[in-house]
Structure 1
Amino acid sequence: MMSEVYATVQFGREQDNTQLLGVIVAFLASRDLLDNVLVARHGSAVARLKMQDLKGAEFLTTVLDGELCAEHCNDLGRAFCKANLQGEAGAELAAMVADSQVQDWQLFDELLPKMSQSLRALAAPKRGLKQLAAKVLQFPTRKR
């Protein structure tokens, strides 16, 4: 089975995406969005990444061989990668990285609010019409 590749690290001035991907990988690790098998196999590197002893870009190139794939993430992590590496959200994050004057963990701190907001939106349960109606139709209980 071939795993979907979300992004491959690219070096160079024009298309360098190492900082963006490094920040995303660090976010995935810090929020426990990496696959359990990957965490078990590379526990020391994941722990160093969480403690900010290893940069996200270093983890990406050494542990993940320069590719961020679907198999590296759990279900919520896959949804996060799809939402933040493709389309408008991906372009917005890339623009924030391009405009920033900092790198690595300082860049992580700059992008953290945006990525956290995106994750909260993905993790929020979808409220259906039945749930909404049930909440509206709840009657107060009698006080005893």
Structure 2
Amino acid sequence: MGLVALLLVVAGAWASWGDAQHVLLSQGREHGTLVVTGCSAEVCTGRFDPEGPGPVRRDLTVERSVAVRSDGTYPVVVKPDSRELVRTGLGGGLHAWLPLGGALLLAALVVGGGLRLPRLAWSAAGLGGLLLVGTFLTV
């Protein structure tokens, strides 16, 4: 049961790291503001206005999610060697760690029910729940 709980948390952290690394380690990457003008089923596009002396671009996309709405303006960072953007700031950072929050909630069930460690289970559930609620309130 301990291995299952550990696997859940590691899988949640791994799923989160894909976007969270660009939010946390954004120094040296191209930052700017995205004004979303339209969204398809999977991505949203718009006008990217970089911080600094770069030209305005319209060929960059951001993943469509609850964190991005049409006609919204968002601070973003460009993923290296791609045309993809990741939302930054508190809302973007919490949204990037959302899979970890869900994994902590699932692991809490395994820890509490399978390992019979209620304090650790409540701690994991509380941390996962705070992450989920914090994301909901900031996005």
TM-score of the aligned structures, taking structure 2 as reference length? 0.29
For the pair shown, the structure with the greater C-alpha radius of gyration is 1
- TM-score, with normalisation over the residues of structure 1? 0.28
Structure number having the greater helix percentage: 1
